[in-house]
Amino acid sequence: MASPARRRTAALVACLLPLLAVSIAGCRKDSGGDDTFVVGFSQMGHDNPWRMAQTASLREEAAKRGYELVVTDAQDQTAKQVADVEDLIARRVDVILLAPREFEGLTPALQAARKANIPVILVDREAEGTPGEDFVTFLGSNFVEQGRRAAEWLVKETGGTAGIVELTGTPGSSVASDRSKGFHEVIAAHPGMKILASQTGEFSRANGQRVLQNIAQSLGSRITAVYAHNDEMALGAIQALKAAGLTPGTGVKVVSVDGQRAALESIQRGELGATVESNPRFGPIAFDTIEQLRRGEPVPTKKLITDRFFDRTNAAQFVADAY
């Protein structure tokens, strides 16, 4: 006989409609057994401040609202993330929050969850599949717009002429693809903005520094701008620029995405030029969405977060509240 948790989850998903607006109207927990609603969170990794802040936000919100949260760490490995989702299914969680490492690599995990009648909500990155069928909704930022905003700032700061190094994020991830797309869309309209090199730094400070060091050895003073897909790579690149005898902030304009405290402090020092916010505090929106499902309310297939922009005009104002 199925456990109360399994019966509750089956009843929950039985009400899911494979449409663009998803609801679970009329679903209720089984009256017998443990009434704790268990949420699984498949985190892609905990190797940088953004990821740690995201997980902390979900833990805090789960505790505040009386949910049990089970967190797994894929250690930046797609195969392990698939296995982690399968483990959450085996634990019979009621809902899965999934932060996909790659866009195309999570199909087996989504299929397994669907077969087990466990709804999946994507957080901060998108994955291949049909909203309302393979997953309920996507919660996150407009990554293409983040890239556009970074490019617009850089065009203005450089007067439309720059030799740019682009440090890209995890290959195959939706966020890296979109941040690159938005950036390239804008600079394409400015012939003086040239991409000299584009290499992945895997969203890591150490890798960003190493990659920029290697590029600087061959390009030297031709580098007048750096666009990093996240703050960690930008901070590593700044160290590499200094080691190469280049001056971040004046000789080389640096722009990135995330809005972490260390980045705002770097802006205050005059090294990082600007960063587009990508807020990691997903706790409130994630659990609001779960509760929408439980109340039987329609949920849109995408919920976008509004991001701020930080530069020398406002970094000091927000640094104390940054993660």
Task: Give yes or no for a contact between 15 and 26, defined as CB atoms under 8 angstroms apart.
Answer: yes
Question: Could you tell me the pTM of the whole model?
Answer: 0.85
pLDDT tens digits, 141-165: 999 999 999 999 999 999 999 999 9
Which DSSP category does 22 fall into? B
Structure token pair of residue 80: 């392990």
Q: Is the pLDDT of residue 27 over 80?
A: no
CB atoms within 10 A of CB 210: 15
Count of alpha carbons within 13 angstroms of residue 93, beta-carbon side: 27
Q: Is the pLDDT of residue 25 over 60?
A: no
Structure token pair of residue 61: 């919100």
Structure token pair of residue 125: 């990155």
Question: Which alpha helices (H) appear in the chain, and where do they start and end?
Answer: 4-14, 49-65, 78-90, 107-115, 143-158, 174-187, 205-219, 231-243, 261-268, 283-295, 315-318
Report residue 34's pLDDT band, with 50, 70 and 90 as the boundaries: low
Give the helix, strand, coil percentages of the chain, each rounded to 5. Answer: 45, 20, 35
Report residue 94's pLDDT band, with 50, 70 and 90 as the boundaries: very high
Report residue 35's pLDDT band, with 50, 70 and 90 as the boundaries: confident
Q: Is the pLDDT of residue 16 over 90?
A: no
pLDDT tens digits, 254-286: 999 999 999 999 999 999 999 999 999 999 999
Task: Give yes or no for a contact between 227 and 154, defined as CB atoms under 8 angstroms apart.
Answer: yes
User: For the purposes of burial, counting CB atoms within 10 Å of the CB of 18, is it exposed (0-12), middle (13-18) or buried (19 or more)?
Assistant: exposed
Q: What are the two backbone dihedrals, phi and then psi, of residue 119, each rounded to the nearest 5 degrees?
A: -70, 145
Structure token pair of residue 35: 């009434």
Q: What are the two backbone dihedrals, phi and then psi, of residue 239, each rounded to the nearest 5 degrees?
A: -65, -40
Q: What is the C-alpha separation between 183 and 150, in angstroms, rounded? A: 7
pLDDT tens digits, 74-92: 999 999 999 999 999 999 9
